[in-house]
Each structure stands twice: as structure tokens, then as C-alpha cells.
Amino acid sequence: METTQQGTPQQRSTERRRRELLEAADRVVLRDGPGASMNAIAAEAGITKPILYRHFGDKGGLYAALAQRHTDALLASLRAALDAPAEQRRERVERTLETYLTAIEARPQVYRFLMHPADGGSSGEPGFDVGRHSAPLLRRMGEELAQVIEERVDLGPGGRQLSRAWGHGIVGMMHAAGDWWLSERPCPREELVRSLADLLWGRLADAGDRADGPAF
């Protein structure tokens, strides 16, 4: 039987069902945050927990699928912020920081689920190591940002390694500062954006744009 690039009808049906289950999981996460349980997600989707396990394996598998879903969306937003017209490079930097902070502020329960998963507790479900699941998410964001920096900024010899160091460093800074800010709300978002941009500015302000790539 000939199939298309989109797969067989059964594969398309499975993928559509998986998306529906992820949307149900999103609704529960928005309500319960890190306390979201497989039981609650199965109930929201109108299925039994064994069916949920059949699609994702366990809570770690579901977490990984949700992490990819939200990381894809966040990275798309960050790239759009970097690619949008701007008269000055600092404006791009501030807009990128603003995009990240706006995203975690808009869906704090999703952020907490991804970065601070519960340990099981009263849900009766086994916990899973936070670092084992969140570290790949942050690493992916670091690599993506490193690629953007390398494409746009002329850092001279050793520029690729420096781009990677900056990419991962900036993501680590955004994550740590955003986590603290979301928890304590010590200042308006705009003030934190300016403070972080001040910290980043240094050598980035002096570097030129790459002649063979888009401007940063």
C-alpha cells in the first residue's frame, strides 16, 4: 500500500490523538502546575491512565513531550524577536529578554511544571529527577541561541566556541533570573529586562555584524 509523506491514516490518527492528549495535559498543567498528575490528565482527556501510558510511557515521557511542545513555541518566539526590525542591537537584546520573561509570566504554572516538577507526594505517583528532564530543555535553548549569535555577530577567531559559551550563558542567566523574578516579583518586568541587558551589553556592544549573515 502506498503511503504519503504524512504517513498512513493510522499514523495520522495516532498523531492527532497524541496532540489531543497533550492539549488535555496542558489544561491540567495550567490548573495544577507541578502537581499535575497522570490521573487528572487521563480524566481530563476522558480516558483511563493505561491508555495515557500507552502513548507516553510514564510521567517522564509526558513531561518530555510537553517540554518539546513548549520549547518549540518559545524558541519560535525568541527567533521572531531577534529577527524583527530594530534600529539598534540593544533593542533586539531587550526584546528577546522581554519575550522570554513575558512567556513565563503568561503561563507560570506551565513554567513551574517544566522547571520544578513535583516529587509525586500525595498523588501516589513516582517522582522524577528535575535536572534529568529540565537540563536537556535548557541545553537545547542554549544551542539554538548560540547558532543565532554565530549567524549574526562577528566574534573573530574562535567565534563559534564563544557563541556557544554566550548562548548557554545567556540562557542560564535568563532561567535563573526569571525563576527568581517569577517567584518573588521584586520589580516590574521592564526593570528586570533593562538590568539583564546592562549585564549582557559589554563585548556584545563592540562586536560587529557578520558580513555574510543577517544583522543582530
Q: State the CATH number of the domain containing residue 180.
A: 1.10.357.10
State the first-to-last Cα distance of the chain, in angstroms, to the nearest integer.
49
Q: Does residue 105 form part of some domain?
A: yes
Selected residue with higher pLDDT from 31 and 125 = 31
129: in domain: yes
pLDDT tens per residue, range 107-118: 999 888 888 866
| pLDDT greater than 50 at residue 124 | no
The answer as to whether 50 is a domain residue is: no
Give the residue-averaged pLDDT of 161-169.
93
Decide which of 214 and 99 is more confident: 99
pLDDT at 134 over 80: no
User: What residues contact 205, with CB distance under 8 A and at least 6 apart?
Assistant: 89, 90
Percent of the chain past pLDDT 90, that is, above it, reads 38
Section 56-76 average pLDDT: 86
The grid coordinates listed for 7 are 504517513
Share of the chain above pLDDT 70, in %: 82
Position 203 scores a pLDDT of 62
Residue 212 is classified by DSSP as T
C-beta of residue 154 within 8 angstroms of C-beta of residue 211: yes
**Band of residue 126 on the pLDDT scale cut at 50, 70, 90:** low
Number of structural domains found in the chain: 1
Residue 175 is placed in which grid cell?
A: 532561567
DSSP 1-47: ---BTTB-HHHHHHHHHHHHHHHHHHHHHHHHGGG--HHHHHHHHTS
Q: Is residue 13 part of a domain?
A: no
Q: What is the pLDDT of residue 40?
A: 94
Asked, for residue 58, whether it belongs to a domain, the answer is no
pTM of the prediction? 0.77
All cell numbers assigned to 129: 529527577
Tens of pLDDT, residue by residue over 16-61, are 989 999 999 999 999 998 888 899 999 999 999 999 998 898 888 8
Mean pLDDT of 155-183: 92
> Which carries the bigger pLDDT value, residue 190 or residue 120?
190
pLDDT at 165 over 50: yes
User: Is residue 36 assigned to a domain?
Assistant: no
pLDDT at 6: 64
Query: Does 4 map to a domain?
Result: no
Place of cell 542554549: 142
Residue 92 domain-assigned (yes or no)? yes
pLDDT at 120 over 70: no
Considering the chain, what is the average pLDDT of its residues? 83
Q: Which domain holds residue 113?
A: 67-209
